[in-house]
Chains A and B, each alone.
Chain A
Amino acid sequence: MYFDWITWGIWLLGFIIFIIWIIVPVKEFRKLLADRKKKGGDASWH
């Protein structure tokens, strides 16, 4: 069976970005949420 290295190489790059951009923003959002809870405010950061 033929394996198209070029197409799947491009696809893999996209897939890596896809996975990183699911994991990291979720982590960063959790941190923002935790910071927010620590500051105790519900309506504002300030």
Chain B
Amino acid sequence: MALVDIIIVVVFMIITFMVGAFFYKWVGDPDDFYVAGRKLTPFILAAVITATNVNLYSFVGQAGIAYKHGISILWQTWTGNMALVFSGLFIIPIMRRLRVRTIPEFLELRYNKAVRTLVGVLWVFRLSFWLGVVLYTAVIAAQAITGISSYTFWLFVFAVVAIIYTMLGGMWSVAFTDVMQFIFMLGGALIVLPLSMSAVGWMPGLIEKLPEMSFTLVRESGTYNWKFILAIFLLGIEWASVDQGLLQRAFAAENTRTVAKGLVLAGIITTPFALLWNLPGLAASVLYPGLENADQAIPMLLSNLLPPVILGLVLCGLISSQLSTISGNLNGVATLFTNDIYESLIKRKASNREILLIARIMTLVIGMLMIVFALWVPKKGAVEAYLTIIGVMDMPLFIVGIFYGLLWKRSTATGAIIGYLAGAAAGIVGQFILNYDFTITTFISAGAALVVTPLVSFLTRPETENKIEKVWQAKHISEEEKSSGDIYHIVPQTRAGKLSLLVYVSGVVLFIGGVVSGSGGWPYASLVAVVGMVVYFLGGYLKVNTN
């Protein structure tokens, strides 16, 4: 790596820090810190969500899988995008109407404080650990790409800068640095795609040199086959409905329709974006075949193909992807602690000034914890451990909080707590005692929560109608929407709205039909699934723009 590239990275870091620190003065109360005063507009929101979701795993890890297994890994991102659209159209608008800042806060509204505290405490640790994994993978990838092996240097690049600006400007800093970082990461990907494709003789060269299977999107067999697509789609819906790091940004939207628009736009723009980092993975498999560690493919491609200056700019894009993920999740954990533990349990009548101080201190503390985890996790199999946490903790939360919480009035707080714990326990047994893989563990934990929650709910006293009514009422338009005139109907009311829903549902049917037909090796399965996805996005886009 040339000196000029290092200078470019350092200048980029300084600019990022300055942009983040600029928003310090914009934070006057906790809502500014947690949810940017609920002022974010659709395009800003879409960039923020995309920047948070796309990280070095996408550019290095997922492209590495494309290197090894072919293009079908694209579905990991594409189904996640479809899940974002689903959540944006049907789930998150309800939360936005309730004006919650965190999922645990929603759980108190729907159930009680005990459910809120249990999930809040667990999620503080869950996200802190996730941050450690993110930081660790960032350092490892950066070392491989640049050849700079100094752990301290990369720790500074990825952690210290993000901690300081997040601490100062909260969600305002996170949002606008995310927009800038989104531009850099997309710009970097736009540079890498043509360079890598020209090196292999463009698309015809790629097709000629790789087996046909590498280009099959829906496969009959293999690791990333049609069952994987369906499973990851379901997991995506769970993620897009309960992930604090993601939802906190959505709660920052200026109104209900903006939430829906922002999430739909984020899903749509990340879809072609995913091709920009997966095709270079395929190109790397032609240029550097037989690498033992597929994660080395993209670092090798970058260091061999990119000239100085361009390498520096692309590096800024890669660093951006990780900084945005770290800062967003840091803000998420600080919010969880301050909102769901400090304000809810420790000091209920704390002043705004005091709450802001605690939120900033917590950002620092969680940042330190992230560094400690980043040093510890490699010895413990970080990624595997994290996947286990998702299976064990997230899926039961989705079942208890979203599935029963929004669809079944009879589910009770005791049913929710015991259902959640039963799901988590079943996940632990599946993973550590029965030694099932991550996907099966996820469904075991979901199944346990799905069965236990209603059983216990039937044995306990129903929640009062008043309590549930507030949540149920949020499925309909709110006073805030009526007064602003910007109304979003979850169930469309006009003919155009109903037509858009029909297009959306047609997309779902086509997509699932295409994927399932892949089980019999139907040659048009991939085409039908992709067309289904496009129709799905079109329906989603039309739905947020009609009523």
Pick from A2, A17, A25, A36: contact of B179, CB below 8 A: A25
> Is the beta-carbon distance between B32 and A45 smaller than 8 angstroms?
yes
Q: List residues 1-46 of chain A with CB under 8 A from any CB of chain B.
A: 2, 4, 6-8, 10-11, 13-15, 17-18, 20-22, 24-25, 28-29, 31-32, 36, 41-46
> Is the beta-carbon distance between B43 and A15 smaller than 8 angstroms?
no
> Is the beta-carbon distance between B43 and A11 smaller than 8 angstroms?
no
Give the complex CA separation of A42 and B22 in angstroms. 12
Q: Identify the closest chain B residue to A5 (Cβ).
A: B203
Query: Which residues of B sit under 8 angstroms from A10, Cβ to Cβ?
Result: 193, 272, 275-276, 279
Query: Which residues of B sit under 8 angstroms from A24, Cβ to Cβ?
Result: 43
Q: A17-B272, A43-B25 are in contact. Are A7 and B37 (CB under 8 A)?
A: no
Give the complex CA separation of A14 and B275 in angstroms. 9
Q: B202 contacts the other chain (Cβ, under 8 Å)?
A: yes
Q: B472 contacts the other chain (Cβ, under 8 Å)?
A: no
Q: A14-B190, A41-B28, A46-B28 are in contact. Are A32 and B39 (CB under 8 A)?
A: yes
Pick from B37, B47, B186: contact of A14, CB below 8 A: B186
Query: Which residues of B sit under 8 angstroms from A46, Cβ to Cβ?
Result: 28-29, 31, 37
Q: Identify the closest chain A residue to B205 (Cβ).
A: A4
Main secondary structure, interface of A, reads helix
> Is the beta-carbon distance between B193 and A22 smaller than 8 angstroms?
no
Query: Which residues of B sit under 8 angstroms from A31, Cβ to Cβ?
Result: 41
Q: How far is the CB of A22 from chain B (nearest CB, A)?
A: 6
Q: Identify the closest chain A residue to B352 (Cβ).
A: A44
Q: List residues 183-203 of chain B with CB under 8 A from any CB of chain A.
A: 183, 186-187, 189-190, 193-194, 197, 202-203
Query: Which residues of A sit under 8 angstroms from B29, Cβ to Cβ?
Result: 44, 46
Query: Which residues of B sit under 8 angstroms from A8, Cβ to Cβ?
Result: 194
Interface string of B22-41 (1 = CB under 8 A from A): 00011111011000010101
Pick from B41, B187, B197: contact of A28, CB below 8 A: B41
> Is the beta-carbon distance between B203 and A4 smaller than 8 angstroms?
yes
Q: How far is the CB of A34 from chain B (nearest CB, A)?
A: 12
Q: B269 contacts the other chain (Cβ, under 8 Å)?
A: yes
Give the complex CA separation of A41 and B26 in angstroms. 9
> Is the beta-carbon distance between B28 and A44 smaller than 8 angstroms?
yes
Pick from B46, B176, B183: contact of A18, CB below 8 A: B183
Query: Which residues of B sit under 8 angstroms from A44, Cβ to Cβ?
Result: 26-29, 32, 37
Pick from B25, B37, B194, B204: contact of A11, CB below 8 A: B194
Give the complex CA separation of A12 and B398 in angstroms. 38
Pick from A14, A41, A45: contact of B189, CB below 8 A: A14
Query: Which residues of B sit under 8 angstroms from A25, Cβ to Cβ?
Result: 43-44, 47, 179
> Is the beta-carbon distance between A28 and B273 smaller than 8 angstroms?
no
Give the complex CA separation of A42 and B190 in angstroms. 38
Query: Which residues of A sit under 8 angstroms from B197, Cβ to Cβ?
Result: 4, 7
Q: B182 contacts the other chain (Cβ, under 8 Å)?
A: yes
Give the complex CA separation of A18 and B446 in angstroms. 39
> Is the beta-carbon distance between A22 and B183 smaller than 8 angstroms?
yes
Q: Identify the closest chain B residue to A45 (Cβ).
A: B37
Q: A2-B202, A14-B186, A22-B183 are in contact. Are A43 and B28 (CB under 8 A)?
A: yes
> Is the beta-carbon distance between A21 and B28 smaller than 8 angstroms?
no
> Is the beta-carbon distance between A14 and B28 smaller than 8 angstroms?
no
Q: How far is the CB of B206 from chain A (nearest CB, A)?
A: 9
Pick from A6, A11, A21, A29: contact of B183, CB below 8 A: A21
Give the complex CA separation of A36 and B22 in angstroms. 14
Q: List residues 38-71 of chain B with CB under 8 A from any CB of chain A.
A: 39, 41, 43-44, 46-47
> Is the beta-carbon distance between B43 and A20 smaller than 8 angstroms?
yes
Q: Identify the closest chain B residue to A2 (Cβ).
A: B202
Q: Identify the closest chain B residue to A10 (Cβ).
A: B275
Give the complex CA separation of A21 and B273 in angstroms. 13
Q: How far is the CB of B351 from chain A (nearest CB, A)?
A: 14
> Is the beta-carbon distance between B25 and A15 smaller than 8 angstroms?
no
Q: How far is the CB of A2 from chain B (nearest CB, A)?
A: 7
Give the complex CA separation of A8 and B25 in angstroms. 43
Interface string of B265-285 (1 = CB under 8 A from A): 000010011011001000000
Give the complex CA separation of A11 and B31 in angstroms. 39
> Is the beta-carbon distance between B44 and A17 smaller than 8 angstroms?
no
Query: Which residues of B sit under 8 angstroms from A36, Cβ to Cβ?
Result: 26
Give the complex CA separation of A4 and B189 in angstroms. 17
Q: A17-B272, A44-B28 are in contact. Are A7 and B203 (CB under 8 A)?
A: yes
Q: Identify the closest chain B residue to A20 (Cβ).
A: B43
Pick from B25, B31, B189: contact of A42, CB below 8 A: B25
Pick from A7, A20, A42: contact of B194, CB below 8 A: A7
Q: A21-B47, A21-B183, A32-B39 are in contact. Are A15 and B279 (CB under 8 A)?
A: no
Q: How far is the CB of B54 from chain A (nearest CB, A)?
A: 12
> Is the beta-carbon distance between A14 and B183 smaller than 8 angstroms?
no
Listed from nearest, the 7 A-B pairs whose CB atoms lie closest are: A44-B28, A4-B202, A43-B28, A24-B43, A45-B37, A13-B272, A28-B41
15 A-B pairs, CB-CB below 8 angstroms?
A: A2-B202, A2-B204, A13-B272, A14-B186, A14-B193, A14-B273, A21-B43, A21-B186, A21-B269, A28-B44, A29-B176, A44-B26, A44-B29, A46-B31, A46-B37
Q: A10-B193, A42-B25 are in contact. List 4 more A-B contacts (CB 8 A).
A: A7-B203, A18-B190, A32-B39, A45-B39
